[in-house]
Amino acid sequence: MAEVELAMRIRKSGETRLRPETRLQIATVAGVWILWEALAWSGLFYRDIVPSSFKVIVAMGRLLATGAFYGHLGTTAYEVLVGFAIGAAAGVLLGILFGARPFLGRVMNGYILALAPAPKVIFLPVLMTAFGIGVGSKIAMAALSAFFPTVLSTAAGMALINPTLIKVGHSFNATAVQMVTRIYLPALVLPVISGLRLGLGVAIVGTLIAEIKLSNAGLGFIAIQYYERFRIPEMYAVIVIIFMLAAAANWLMTRLSDRLGRHGMPSSAEISGAA
């Protein structure tokens, strides 16, 4: 199978030259890079305001060679993942609850819709007074950020569940736990995954913003520390790493939802097996 694919790819590349848009993309990258280097070496800017990409790469290499970097990476990953897990779990459970109890859903809907688009960073002072400036407030920030997309997406998914499925569950006298694991969750896989993808994205932003604002560890902390010491190539290196990690997280979640989408919804047995 793989060999056939490879052979086809080789034949294709032999037959056609690079597509025009690919050539334009390559030209754009090259053009922007040359312009950037020209600006960096022109001396028009105060030193390192536009750092040469070589300096950034060297800085990145040095950064990745230090042990301290992995400590900060670990702190950020811990904050994002724990906060995301808390916010996502609360979002899924409350989303199911609001969907299963329409009146409660209607009561809460106004509050959630009012809070969902508000900038969550603004709660940072509250979270810092409650949980301190360390890891606690960052976890809380990630949880708060992840909660809203998850609960909205889950509740929207609940509204789309075929009512017959729910009636079948009730007529079998399913318990609340059975209703959740056998009826709701299997039908909710796709909306929940898409909510989780958005939630993970905003949890990453929330955590890093909180670290940049006030903290003593994490990738956001070292980025802003380099800024304050005017070590700009190092600051660029940290930001590039943050963007690559965020892109990787997004890619993983997209792949997960594509896989589940392509193979249709997994059976309830698979779900309860996974849980």
- Distance between CA atoms of residues 132 and 76, nearest Å: 16
Element (DSSP H or E) covering residue 255: helix 232-262
The number of helix segments (H) and strand segments (E) in the chain equals 13, 0
Which listed residue (14, 43, 110, 273) binds other proteins by CB under 8 A?
110
Residue 239 touches other proteins, criterion: CB under 8 A: yes
The span of 10-18, 65-73, 223-231, 255-263 binding other proteins (CB under 8 A) equals 223-231
CB atoms within 10 A of CB 268: 15
Candidates 128, 129, 146; CA nearest to 213 is 128
Residue closer to other proteins (CB basis): 32 or 68? 32
Least Å from the CB of residue 123 to other proteins: 7
Residue closer to other proteins (CB basis): 189 or 232? 232
Residue closer to other proteins (CB basis): 57 or 271? 57
- Distance between CA atoms of residues 112 and 131, nearest Å: 23
Residue 253 touches other proteins, criterion: CB under 8 A: no
Which listed residue (14, 16, 43, 111) binds other proteins by CB under 8 A?
111
Candidates 200, 204, 225; CA nearest to 69 is 225
- Distance between CA atoms of residues 105 and 118, nearest Å: 20
CB atoms within 10 A of CB 231: 16
Which listed residue (118, 159, 176, 252) binds other proteins by CB under 8 A?
118
Residue 43 touches other proteins, criterion: CB under 8 A: no
Least Å from the CB of residue 216 to other proteins: 17
Residues counted in the chain:
275
Residue 88 touches other proteins, criterion: CB under 8 A: no
Site for other proteins in 23-42 (CB under 8 A): 24-25, 28
Q: Which residue type is seen at 178?
A: Q
Binding to other proteins by CB under 8 A, coded x per residue (else -) over 47-86, reads: --xx------------------------------------
Question: The dihedral of CA 214, 134, 69, 32: what is its sign?
Answer: negative
Least Å from the CB of residue 130 to other proteins: 5
Residue pair 138/215 in contact by the 8 Å Cβ criterion:
yes
- Residues lying near other proteins in the complex (CB under 8 A): 20-22, 24-25, 28, 49-50, 103, 106-111, 114-115, 117-119, 121-126, 128-130, 201, 204-205, 208-209, 212-213, 220, 223-224, 227, 232, 235-236, 239, 242-243, 246-247, 250
